[in-house]
Amino acid sequence: MMTPENMTMRLVILLSACLAPAAAPAALAIQSDGEQRDDRVTGVGSPASGGAVHAFQQCGAAEVAGAPGAVLERPDDPPDHRETIATRLEELSKLIGKSGKNDPADARAIALMRGLAGEFSHSGPADQADILRGTSRVFLARRRAEKDGSRKTLLFIEAARSLGAMGEDADRLLLAQIDSKRHRDDLALQKELILSLGKTRTKRARTNLVKLLKDHRPAFIATSATALGYFTFEPSKVRKTLFEALLKALLQAEGNALGQNSTALAIWKAMRVPTNSSMRTLSGGNASSPADWQRWWNKNKRGDWD
């Protein structure tokens, strides 16, 4: 069994071997307390000890790492394969499998999702993958409609929000639910899914949000315009591309509304304010009408927006 005294002796010998020239004698002395020391390794500020730390790391760290009580500084990996995460996900899975008139389990399921979303950024890759998968499976839950025909959406909305908070790894999962057969008619959920997609701030999210600006549903267009405003911290080139897409959609909506078509008018009314807001956020500019924005764009599109 290695005692503290033996451990100290081994470390001193190891350090001495690292620092000593190849032909130099060991020159070890015995201190009064019985410990061995190297007479050539003295004060911290002495020339002999100048490269001590580096030399020790190069030739001694591997041995010391396995020594009892030895501690080496290194960045801690995030915790992974945690039983607490697995337990929460198992409970969530059981809760979303329930259905009933009042669905009393939804409050607990929502609390679990919020807790898991909070753990996501502090988790290792395996736990993150499990949290993403478990949260996305909430959309498979079956919930009965209310008397007025509307559906209970809070459970699904919380799943969308939780995925949005998980960042770039969630973009595919959110896209799978946007306009999905199961949830297509749930407008409140669809809006939350689109907003959460924007919060992932991925290239895939940008591409699909720009496509949604051409949708025929006013709420989808307006919400996509809002979500594009979340890309404020992207490079100037990216923000210019998004700004131009918003400007084109705004000009087209204004032109279509002149024909007094009811759908075109609804699109114009729904998208005008959020589009203007996102254009200001992305560019730092300001204008009061699509024509003014066009003039601003012509003047500033080649400038540096950063």
Asked whether residue 56 falls in the same domain as residue 19, the answer is: yes
Predicted local distance difference test score (pLDDT) of residue 74:
46
- DSSP string for 27-62: -EEE-TTS-EEETT---TTSGGGTTHHHHHHHHTHH
How many other C-beta atoms can be found within 10 angstroms of the C-beta atom of residue 96?
A: 25
- Looking at the structure, tell me whether residues 160 and 269 fall in a common domain: no
Asked whether the beta carbons of 235 and 204 are under 8 A apart, the reply is no
Q: In 3-state terms, what secondary structure has residue 145?
A: strand
Domain count, the chain: 3
Same domain for 49 and 117: no
In a domain, 117, yes or no: yes
Query: How confident is the model at residue 104, as a pLDDT?
Result: 61
- CB neighbour burial string for 139-148, b if at least 16 within 10 angstroms, e if fewer: bebebeeeee
First to last CA, the chain: 64
67 with 10: CB under 8 angstroms?
yes
Q: Are 156 and 266 contained in the same domain?
A: no
Q: Looking at residue 63, what is its pLDDT?
A: 43
Phi, psi (deg, nearest 5) at residue 185: -85, 0
**Residue range of the domain that includes 51:** 4-65
- 146 and 58 within one domain: no
Q: pLDDT tens digits for the chain (306 residues)?
A: 445 455 444 444 444 544 444 444 443 343 434 444 444 444 444 444 444 444 434 444 444 444 444 444 345 789 999 999 999 999 999 999 887 555 667 899 999 999 999 999 999 999 999 999 999 999 999 887 666 555 668 899 999 999 999 999 999 999 999 999 999 999 999 999 999 999 999 999 999 999 999 999 999 999 999 999 999 999 999 999 999 999 999 999 999 999 889 999 999 999 999 999 999 999 999 998 999 999 999 999 999 898
pLDDT at 75: 57
Same domain, yes or no: 110 and 177: yes
Query: pTM of this prediction?
Result: 0.74
